[in-house]
Amino acid sequence: MLTDKTIVLGITGGIAAYKAADLASKLAQAGAKVEVVMTESATKFITPLTLRSLTNRPVVTSMWELTSEFSIEHVALAEAADIVVIVPATANIIAKLAAGIADDMLSCAVLATEAPVVIAPAMNVNMFQNSVTQDNLAKLKDRGFTIIDPEYGRLASGKMGLGRLAEVEKIIGIIKQVLGRSSDLAGKRIVVTAGGTQEAIDPVRYISNHSSGKMGYAVAEAARDRGAEVTLITAPTSLPEPVGIEVIQVTSAVQMKEAVAKATAQSDALIMAAAVADYQPKSTVKGKIKREIAGADLTLELTRTPDILAEAKGNFLRVGFAAESENLVENAKDKLQRKQLDLVAANDITAPDSGFNVDTNKITLIGKDGEVEDLPLMSKREVADKILDRVAGLLPPPSENSFEVILRPVMVKNHFIGIPALQKTLFPPMNTALVLLTEVGAIETNIIRRGSSGGLKLTKGLIKWFKAHPELKPGDKLRITVLEPMKRYRLEIVKLEYRK
């Protein structure tokens, strides 16, 4: 995902600057070309030599530093970037970017780039919560910047509060997610299940299996990195929740079935990597079963759990897993046919280094067309990408005449819809009238260009539509479809943000 990507890493003057070294190191190890730009203040906290040693690239600290290939032509760095990441982002750099000030190499690069920009604020809690900082962050969000919120914890002042830099692994996850927006699964909604369900015997005992959840989590993260909107429905595991993914925690097969039915209502694919228990106790004892009372033998009456994959309803791609101990291909083909799957990934659970509780897997992919692809032993992340290669090939390509918009807080508050700069060519010039067809009728509106990001605003007449949908919240998604270029469009609510 990060291999050969040019990541411009901006470091500003905060105590959290030392964590940027860890980030730079991990990005470089992942194959990225990391171009570090440090403000003068940042060099007071960490030396350029440290970053140069970690990235094997020259570090830019000034527009007037003649030894840098980027110093004279300051836009060259902006043009080379696949993504710009500022870690840590101080209140000062946030204010400068919000105001469009370009008085150093980093602010110049951000102002000149067309690449996505990610900033991770880190500062004193009072500075972060100050209304000026919050207003500046809101402006940047409105312009399409991705903000990685700081975390609560002990700050440099010794106080506890909101202002600690987000964890490096979280920042990397967000970087991957943002870079994936133009990948082959962009705009697709994929539901993934993971982990082994637990079927309660009593309040302290349950029936389960050896699934670690690693395969499902790998699929979910790989789909996220390829641009998909991912919902991960997971039984209990010891794995950390992946970044940028909607995670729904369940315990039993019945709970997983209910979650899958809800999540797949508007999905493009369901990838069922969970190891669902085949049986559950017919009844669960309310109190703990005492050995002294149960005696030497305990008899459990079991009943079948629901067949989640076979019973899932809807027009979406179905991918299943077949963990077999014998007759691998034959049993997998039978499962594919019985459950009307589009693809099945079969693995031999008796093979070493494959299956449960390991980081590798050896699978055989079998398609609905009967094609059998035997894959070598790979990491589970590599296996996930192989599965998604097939999924991407089976899904219909996205329409060139439609796109999605994520509602920002300022849009909901001020009743307008922001159009990303990438889609601006689908719309007429500024102040030219156009029509949006909605479920509350046709709305005549127009375009207002906004700021240096090059995006657009749809404003006129939309207050009526927003008032007809008081349920809309920041994070909800809209789809705009071009019906007649430069004149008529359709506006639809795609999916409401998941709220527990």
Catalytic residues: 209
Is the bond preceding 88 in cis, omega lying within 30 degrees of 0?
yes
3-class SS at 230?
strand
CA distance 297 to 291: 9
Residue whose structure tokens are 């127009």: 446
Tokens of residue 364, six digits: 């055989």
Handedness of CA 437, 441, 446, 450 (dihedral sign): negative
CA distance 480 to 462: 14
Residue whose C-alpha is closest to residue 77's, from 177, 9, 179: 9
Q: Under 8 Å CB-to-CB from 230, ≥6 apart: which residues?
A: 189, 190, 191, 192, 220, 223, 224, 244, 245, 246
Cβ count near 303 (within 10 Å): 10
Amino acid at 481: T
Name the phi and psi angles at 53, rounded to 5: -65, -35
3-class SS at 225?
helix
Name the phi and psi angles at 285, rounded to 5: -75, 130
CA distance 253 to 311: 12
Burial of residue 39, with CB atoms counted within 10 A of its CB: 0-12 exposed, 13-18 middle, 19 or more buried? buried
CA distance 274 to 212: 9
CA distance 380 to 196: 17
CA distance 35 to 144: 22
